[in-house]
């Protein structure tokens, strides 16, 4: 972790959470964070859109921020079932994840679509968390860095800066599997992402790079200590304050 970049610990709740229990969890997390006057990191939960407004209301004053998990590229219109970045902002979001591998795989989101969604996120005044990562097949074929290059080059929107964009490296094979890359592998990919960014934007050295994929309390400190890792994107272990807190604590 670097002094130059404020760490971000982000929870991605995916399609999990009903109101009562979710509000309890965010209250619990807020109470734990609240004991730290001036947290040294940003703390984010990206709940399902149905919970955003109420969770944002409950989190007010606690340093826990809210984000969306996905958005449509357009601000409004005839797109049944979709949600725009402006709507997420209106519901209390400060960030939006785009290009998560589950969206890329389940909804056929290409780099061009991810870039359009990232642009929409910026247009709405939110920070875009742009996800990249190789599949197991790509890793085994020694294509990891090539895949990452393609994704970074083609998913970043025009106007991306260190204040409006975060890049999350999430190897697809590590998501929800309990498997993680070695710290040397994480270091190599994060360095590669930073190099790619430095060819694209002026303040690349200030862009926060998150690691995601089976982060939990027991491995967070080791992963957060890797050079160019500025925080984590956490799925399963972000669903309860009890599991998320030890990860947050590595940065707070």
- List the catalytic residue out of 100, 138, 190, 196: 100
Whose Cβ is closer to ligand PEP: residue 86's or residue 144's? 144
Question: Is 72 a known active-site residue?
Answer: no
Whose Cβ is closer to ligand PEP: residue 39's or residue 236's? 236
Q: Tell the residue number behind the tokens 């929800």, with chain if given.
A: 176
Question: Is 170 a known active-site residue?
Answer: yes
Q: Specify the 3-state DSSP secondary structure of 148.
A: helix
**Helix H or strand E segment including 12:** strand 8-12
**Taking the complex as a whole, how short is the minimal distance between the CB of residue 3 and ligand PEP, in angstroms?**
25
**Taking the complex as a whole, how short is the minimal distance between the CB of residue 130 and ligand PEP, in angstroms?**
12
Taking residue 64's Cβ as centre, other Cβ atoms within 10 Å add up to 26
**Taking the complex as a whole, how short is the minimal distance between the CB of residue 60 and ligand PEP, in angstroms?**
25
Q: Tell the residue number behind the tokens 């910026």, with chain if given.
A: 122
Tokens found for residue 215 = 């982060």
Q: Which residue is nearest to ligand PEP (CB)?
A: 235
**Taking the complex as a whole, how short is the minimal distance between the CB of residue 81 and ligand PEP, in angstroms?**
21
**Site residues (vs ligand PEP, CB under 6 A):** 12, 170, 175-176, 212-215, 233-237
Q: How far apart are CA 173 and CA 222, in angstroms?
A: 19
Whose Cβ is closer to ligand PEP: residue 86's or residue 244's? 244
- List the catalytic residue out of 86, 109, 138, 170: 170
**Taking the complex as a whole, how short is the minimal distance between the CB of residue 72 and ligand PEP, in angstroms?**
20
Q: Tell the residue number behind the tokens 């500025």, with chain if given.
A: 230
Reference 82, options 132, 120, 119, 133; nearest CA is: 120
Whose Cβ is closer to ligand PEP: residue 26's or residue 237's? 237
Whose Cβ is closer to ligand PEP: residue 215's or residue 252's? 215
Q: How far apart are CA 252 and CA 248, in angstroms?
A: 6
Catalytic sites, residue numbers? 100, 170
């Amino acid at each position: 972790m670097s002094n130059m970049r404020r760490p971000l610990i982000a929870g991605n709740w995916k399609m999990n959470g009903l109101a009562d229990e979710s509000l309890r969890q965010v209250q619990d997390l807020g109470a734990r964070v609240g004991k730290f006057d001036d947290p040294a990191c940003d703390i984010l939960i990206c709940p399902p859109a149905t919970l955003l407004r109420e969770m944002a209301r409950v989190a007010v004053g606690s340093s826990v921020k809210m984000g969306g998990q996905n958005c449509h590229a357009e601000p409004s219109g005839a797109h049944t079932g979709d949600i725009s970045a402006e709507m997420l902002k209106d519901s209390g979001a400060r960030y939006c994840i785009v290009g998560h591998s589950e969206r890329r795989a389940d909804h056929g989101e290409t780099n061009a679509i991810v870039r359009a969604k990232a642009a929409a996120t910026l247009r709405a005044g939110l920070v875009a968390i742009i996800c990249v990562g190789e599949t197991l097949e790509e890793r085994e074929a020694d294509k990891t860095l090539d895949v990452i290059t393609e994704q970074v080059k083609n998913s970043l929107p025009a106007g991306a800066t260190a204040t409006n964009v975060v890049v999350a490296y999430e190897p697809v094979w590590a998501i929800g599997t309990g498997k993680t890359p070695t710290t040397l592998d994480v270091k190599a990919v994060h360095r590669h992402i930073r190099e790619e960014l430095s060819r694209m934007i002026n303040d690349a050295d200030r862009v926060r790079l998150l690691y995601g994929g089976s982060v939990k309390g027991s491995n967070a400190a080791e992963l957060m200590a890797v050079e160019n890792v500025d925080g984590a994107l956490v799925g399963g272990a972000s669903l309860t304050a009890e599991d998320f807190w030890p990860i947050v604590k590595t940065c707070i």
